[in-house]
Homo-oligomer: A and B are copies of this chain.
Amino acid sequence: MVLLDALGKRWTLRLLWELNQSWPCTFRELRARCDDISPTSLNNRLKDLRELKLIELGESGYALTEQGQALSRLLEPLDRWANQWAKNFDSN
């Protein structure tokens, strides 16, 4: 339940998704990619994700850890489904 609750926090899923698209990625770049999320919120979520050892801050920016990569990969089918679903949903 721990992880499920963590993922349920605002921006967490989005951050993992963005990082899965391309990483490493700087703090400021992440902000830009996430609809200019406030730095406060971004930092809080990054802290959470670092504590969970899903991401880490390296030389050239934030990066997915091994486990972060594994998790992100599981989100891909979800994302694909979501895109299909969005198409059908909008056309109502």
Contact = CB atoms under 8 A, between A and B. Distances in A.
Given A4-B17, A8-B14, A14-B5, A78 B75 contact: yes
Interface residues of A, number: 29
A10 B13 contact: no
Copies per complex of this chain: 2
A78 B74 contact: yes
Secondary structure of the A contact surface, majority rule:
helix
Given A8-B12, A10-B9, A12-B8, A2 B74 contact: no
A70 B52 CA distance: 28
Contacts of A12: 8
A12 to B, nearest CB: 6
B5 A8 contact: no
A79 interface: yes
